[in-house]
Amino acid sequence: AAELEYESVLCVKPDVNVYRIPPRTSNRGYRASDWKLDHPDWTGRLRVTSKGKTAYIKLEDKVSGELFAQAPIDQYPGIAVETVADSSRYFVIRIQDGTGRSAFIGIGFTDRGDAFDFNVSLQDHFKWVKQETEISKESQEADTRPKLDLGFKEGQTIKLNIGNMTSKKGGAAKPRVSGSGGLSLLPPPPGGKIAVPPIPPPSSTAIANHVTPPPVQKSSNASSKDILLDLDAPSTASKASATTDLWGDFSTASSAVPNQAPQQSDWVQF
């Protein structure tokens, strides 16, 4: 796994100053004012890289890129990188060589923004390391836990109730109430009323097409006697005439008139 890890660059700053710092004589923090800030011991380029979970602070030559010193960091904040008590632009780092020897030196940035970027790059890297550690720990705990067997045992069955289907064999489904045309009708909502459509008023066209027949005017020559006869005629006479023979009425009327002239020979007598 270590051979497959590759080195990634986290931060690059072109200007950094290196100082020799006096040994710490007490437990109080480092102070940049104790250094000779106007006369740095070395000036070059700083590059922060990471390989796996370890970060590296590399001090290199600006022109050739030759490595001047390297500080491996396995925890931040920690003893490998410390801030000073009187400034945010200066740090104390622990450098190591290939033989295992180590020394503490001071580094400083001219621009305060470069110091901020340097600090944030280390914080982001070790935040990622913490998350990866928690994820790997959870996966290991999950592997050690007993796994649940959710499969069916021998002879175990399960029953499903889908819609109107019954669980018993041979059971018939409940019939659905359907309206006209085979469509299922829903009952009206509770408390609701069905609105009756209003009867439309008669259109003007229908009124215009209806023609009232004019009243029948009686002739002025009609006598008052005829009018009275019409009003006084009993209803029984009309009923009797309806039941008798029509041809008999005609013959009776002709025989009842005494002064009628004799019939002509060319007319047929009824």
* Tens-binned pLDDT, residue by residue, of the chain (270 aa): 445 678 899 999 999 999 999 887 777 788 898 888 989 999 999 999 999 889 999 999 988 889 999 999 998 888 899 999 888 999 999 999 878 789 999 999 999 999 999 999 999 999 999 998 888 888 777 667 677 777 777 878 888 788 765 555 555 555 555 545 555 566 666 665 555 566 666 555 444 455 555 555 554 444 444 544 444 445 444 444 444 455 555 454 444 445 554 555 555 554
**pLDDT at 165 (0 to 100):** 58
The Cα–Cα gap between 185 and 177 comes to 7
**Buried residues in 85-118 as b, exposed as e (16+ CB within 10 A):** eebebbbbbbbeeeeeeeebbbbbbeeeebbeeb
21, two tokens: 């710092």
Q: Label the pairing between strands 81-83 and 67-73.
A: unpaired
Q: Which domains does the chain have, with CATH numbers?
A: 7-131 (2.30.29.30)
**pLDDT at 223 (0 to 100):** 47
The Cα–Cα gap between 76 and 59 comes to 19
The Cα–Cα gap between 35 and 19 comes to 7
14, two tokens: 């072109």
Please say whether the beta carbons of 118 and 16 come within 8 A. no
In which region does residue 181 sit, left (phi positive, over 0), alpha (psi from -120 to 50) or beta (all else)? left
**235 burial type by CB count under 10 A (0-12 exposed, 13-18 middle, 19+ buried):** exposed
Please say whether the beta carbons of 32 and 86 come within 8 A. yes
Which residues, listed in sequence order, are joined to residue 45 by a DSSP beta bridge? 60
**pLDDT at 222 (0 to 100):** 46
> CB count, 10 Å around CB of 45?
17
Handedness of CA 23, 27, 32, 34 (dihedral sign): negative
In angstroms, what CA-CA distances link 51 with 54, 91, 126, 130? 6, 22, 12, 15
Q: End-to-end CA distance of the chain: give it in Å, rounded.
A: 143
CA proximity to 107, closest of 48, 54, 53, 25: 48
